[in-house]
Structure 1
Amino acid sequence: MRNSIFLFVLSLISFGTFFQAQKIGDGETVDVNGLQVSLNITNKESVQVGGKPFDRYKVSASVKNSSDKSYTIRLTSYPQIVLDTGIVELDCVNATGAKLTSKKIQLKMKTQMINVSYSAYDKSGKSVSNVLPVIGSYYFDSGDIISDNAIFIVPSGEKPEVNVRALR
């Protein structure tokens, strides 16, 4: 009984997440919560994987924050590990992931680096000043653009079928 309830709730969550995604094609730009997401195929070639023919696509994705909202993660202490800095995710549903290629592209926030000065003693006992670059925050301001590339391998004769969804 518990397993069936758990599976039902998990199905509802997956079903809701599926409908939040939008399809995007080559050369298209879609609006996802005020974010302009673009996808472009930059190269296509045919390859053999395990003796079977596949098409290999190099794709470029970008997101522009066209809303008035800025996204920020401020770090409260050092070191603080932040694993989730993604803004949008593009998922190629027919990608195989063969030959260490991608199935998804996640566009992540920019990193703000801060130089921290500190004093220390060297081997001779002399005080020296050093500078250490530290991540201060992650941000994605209004008007900013983030881009990334990936390679998708799909079955021969098919084009990448890509869905995009906001992560924030």
Structure 2
Amino acid sequence: MTTTLFTLSAAALAQTSYDIAPGEPAVFNGVEYGIEVLNERAQDVKTEEYNRYELGLYVTNKSGCAKLIFPRQTLFGTESNPNLLASFDCLNATGKRMTSKGGNLLARPFVVPYRETVKGTDGKDVVKTTNVQAGYILRNGESVSDRIIVIVPAGEKPRMRVRVREIIDNF
């Protein structure tokens, strides 16, 4: 029983991953996940030579509809990072000189107005509107991006992998 439970929970938390390169984005359910090289240079760090890359990470919704992400319950409570769209990992990054080995891209909050009638101080009914966060959204055509700096061994280019959060179509 414990083995089955562990297997089911591990499968529920699994993410799809793709190897990506500049100009060769991964596409999953109409959402494009990619990187671009913004700056590149050779650099000496102490006695070793490395290549320093500034990379642009991006997620673009090209599905034709907005993607809504609702918080999910897990066996351990709610997700720790419910607005995570993708995690980008540089497989050959050294992390030297306080540089990155990867980055995460997050979706924006999605709020809906909630109207309620409450009694005012004078006893009259007053309509009050409150914005309530319902989840997260990646609108059609919207891009989310970030920049990271990685250092890789001399003569190598960054080898990147993206772990994609599956956005379930609820409609």
TM-score, structure 1 as length reference: 0.65
> Contact 1:32–1:165 at 8 Å: present in 2 too?
no
Q: CA deviation at 1:37?
A: 1.5
What is the aligned length? 132
* Matching residue of 1:24: 20
Give the superposed CA RMSD. Answer: 3.1
The structure in which a higher percent of residues are helix is 1
Q: Structure 1: which 5+ runs fail to align?
A: 75-80, 115-133
Distance 1:38 1:83, change over 3 A: closer
Tell me how far apart the structure 2 counterparts of residues 84 and 72 of structure 1 sit (CA, whole Å). Answer: 8
Deviations 1:81-135 (A, max 9, x none): 9633110121110011111111112111014589xxxxxxxxxxxxxxxxxxx98
Aligned twin of 1:166: 164
**DSSP 3-state at the match of 2:162:** strand
Q: CA offset at residue 47 of structure 1?
A: 1.7
Query: How far apart, in 1, do the equivalents of 2:56 and 2:97 lie?
Result: 19
For 2:82 and 2:92, how far apart are their aligned partners in 1? 25
| Structure 2 alignment gaps of length 5 or more | 72-78, 113-130, 167-171
Q: Could you tell me the percent identity over the aligned residues? A: 28
How has the CA–CA distance of structure 1 residues 154 and 82 changed in structure 2, closer, same or farther, with 3 Å as cutoff? same
Alignment of 1:108-147 (within 5 A): 108-111=106-109, 136=133, 137-147=135-145
Confirm or deny: 8 A CA contact 1:69 1:141 kept in the other structure: yes
Task: Report whether the alignment pairs 1:53 with 2:68.
Answer: no
Aligned to 1:149: 147
Which residue is 2:128 aligned to? none
